[in-house]
Amino acid sequence: MPKVTFCGHSCVLFESAAGNAIFDPFLTGNPSASHTPKEIPKLSAILLSHGHGDHVGDAVELSKRDGAPVIATYELASYCESQGAEAVGMNTGGSYDLGWARVKLVQAFHSSSYQTAEGFIYTGMPNGILVTVEGKTVYHLGDTALFSDLGLIARRNGPIAVAFIPIGDHYTMGIEDAVEAWNLIRPSAAVPVHYNTFPPIRQDPDRFAAKVGALGGAVRVLAPGESMEF
Ligand code: NI
Ligand code: MN
């Protein structure tokens, strides 16, 4: 069975018999990271929701290590390529066949740029990311506000086995809006992400779990380093 591991903040390691991928590999400098880059198994894809540093993280180094492409919006993928990564540049609404899994980028309401000492680099639109393997789909929402087309995305691409939903507030939706996001997506399991890494996004994930539970849903609160099969 495929397996996902929450690596802290918004980073999720996706492992299956056919291949491994990672979402938003912010490990170095992440106070809640469960893994160092060295501890991440060999990858065949690195999936980036957007260009912010707490999502791009170690993407370029992991790509160089494993020869795995960074898959992201064209501008962000091209920036990573300019830094020495392999890259597959896509755009919102497009999908890509990895051979062992299908990746699709979908809307997210956020901003996207990469900050360097020289200033901000434009990295295109932010996205949510769907990965389908062995007939099962996981949906990493990326950083996003609540929007009603989460329901359309779930209807077009579902059923969703596992949804990674940001709950931290301040930079993304908070718990109340995340509950409505859950209601629109109705995944078999929801895993809260993007909270408690830094003081502005301090949240109680059990409060999210209780609210979704009251609606009949299932939330898995994963501690950094904890895995679930699906
Ligand atoms: Ni962000
Ligand atoms: Mn973020």
CATH number of 3-218, picked from 3.30.1490.20, 3.20.20.70, 3.60.15.10, 3.90.1210.10: 3.60.15.10
Reported confidence tier of residue 32, pLDDT bands at 50, 70, 90: very high
Reported confidence tier of residue 42, pLDDT bands at 50, 70, 90: very high
Query: For the chain, which residues make up each domain, given as ranges?
Result: 3-218
What is the pTM (predicted TM-score) of this model? 0.98
What is the mean pLDDT of the segment spanning 45-66? Answer: 98
52 C-alpha to ligand 2 centroid (Å): 6
161 C-alpha to ligand 1 centroid (Å): 24
53 C-alpha to ligand 2 centroid (Å): 8
53 C-alpha to ligand 1 centroid (Å): 8
15 C-alpha to ligand 1 centroid (Å): 24
Reported confidence tier of residue 86, pLDDT bands at 50, 70, 90: very high
pLDDT in tens, 108-119: 999 999 999 999
pLDDT in tens, 3-22: 999 999 999 999 999 999 99
Edge-to-edge strand list for the sheet holding 95-97: 95-97, 102-107, 127-133, 136-140, 160-166, 189-193
Closest CA to 127 of 99, 95, 102: 95
